[in-house]
Amino acid sequence: MKLMIAIAAALGAASLAHAQTQGVSKNEIVVGTAQDLSGPVVPFSKPAVNGMLMRIDEINGNGGIHGRKLKLVVEDHGYDPKKAVLAAQKLIQKDRIFAVLGPIGTPTAMAGMPIYLEKNVPHLFPLSAARQMFEPLHKLKYSFAATYYEGIRAGLKRLVKEKGLKRVCTLYQDDDFGLEVMQGGEAALKELGMSYAERTTYKRVRPTSLRRCRRCRARDATWWCWARSSAKPSAPSPPRVNSAGTPSSSALPRSIST
């Protein structure tokens, strides 16, 4: 979080020579963030916002940046891409931010990012490891994490080799985040001359259904490739089911998840 604010500050300082820079005035630099304060990833968003505020308080307590105090505007998108678009529009048009810091969520960041970039607002360190956070390259895109795609691709490939897995299924969140994870696993299996034994999705706002788990179990899968972003019970781990499709304490394949 310190790195996020430090680089944002450096970008702001470099732009201060331009009198008409949006979000930069004689006494203040306005930055914004779009977070989930009412949806499934609140446990991630709240600490992120608190960390930003703590660092901004520290910077402002030490005189700000070239005498200018930082102001953070926080918008809630509830992990909803449509609300993320509205949040981006407000931050740009009403709050007139200089940069957006750490917007959370892959589907929400992908929805809002084109709006920021179109208005020349730096998109700094989104809390998403999707490849789209830096691909295609853009001078205003700043990412910080190894991608979901590469992490799952490398991890699943190693597991298949070490564990001798024969059948892998995937249960992934039905959005851009889940798609990234699914595709990473798909790439790993393709490199090994394999493919998913079964693939199925779930809605991030609904619990995982037993029916979807039964589809994977019916394929006699030995491993799950499991993608979920929620830290709440609305997206629980797959229930254990046996070959008859009924709950079991030991029949569920083991999983790799993100």
pLDDT tens digit sequence for 188-206: 999 999 999 989 888 876 6
CATH number where 107 lies: 3.40.50.2300
Give pLDDT tens digits for 63-109.
Answer: 999 899 999 999 999 999 999 999 999 999 999 999 999 999 999 99
pLDDT recorded at residue 171 = 87
DSSP letter string, 2-24? HHHHHHHHHHHHHHTTSTT-TTB
Residues 105, 47, single domain; the answer is: yes
Residues 175, 199, single domain; the answer is: yes
Strand order in the sheet with 198-202: 198-202, 168-173, 223-227, 254-257
Query: pLDDT at residue 253 above 70?
Result: no
DSSP type of residue 193:
T
Q: Is 47 helix (H, G, I), strand (E, B) or coil?
A: helix
Residues 175, 130, single domain; the answer is: no
Q: Is 165 helix (H, G, I), strand (E, B) or coil?
A: coil
Between helix 42-61 and helix 2-15 the angle, nearest 10°, is: 50
Residues 56, 165, single domain; the answer is: no
Q: By residue range, what is the domain housing residue 160?
A: 148-257
Residues 115, 241, single domain; the answer is: no
CB 235 within 8 A of CB 208: yes
Residues 25, 71, single domain; the answer is: yes
Residues 119, 169, single domain; the answer is: no
pLDDT recorded at residue 257 = 53
Residues 177, 102, single domain; the answer is: no
pLDDT recorded at residue 203 = 83
Q: H or E element: which one contains 93?
A: helix 81-93
In angstroms, the Cα distances linking 200 to 7, 32, 170, 238, 241 are 40, 36, 6, 12, 16
Of 142, 163, 193, which residue is a domain's last?
142
pLDDT recorded at residue 204 = 74
Residues 109, 157, single domain; the answer is: no
Residues 185, 239, single domain; the answer is: yes
Burial pattern 87-117, b for ≥16 Cβ within 10 A else e, equals: bbeebbeebbbbbbbbbbbbbbbbbbbebbe
Range 14-21, long-range pairs (CB < 8 A, 24+ positions)? 15/98, 16/66, 16/68, 21/98
How many structural domains comprise the chain?
2
Residues 120, 63, single domain; the answer is: yes
Phi and psi (nearest 5°) for 249? -90, -5
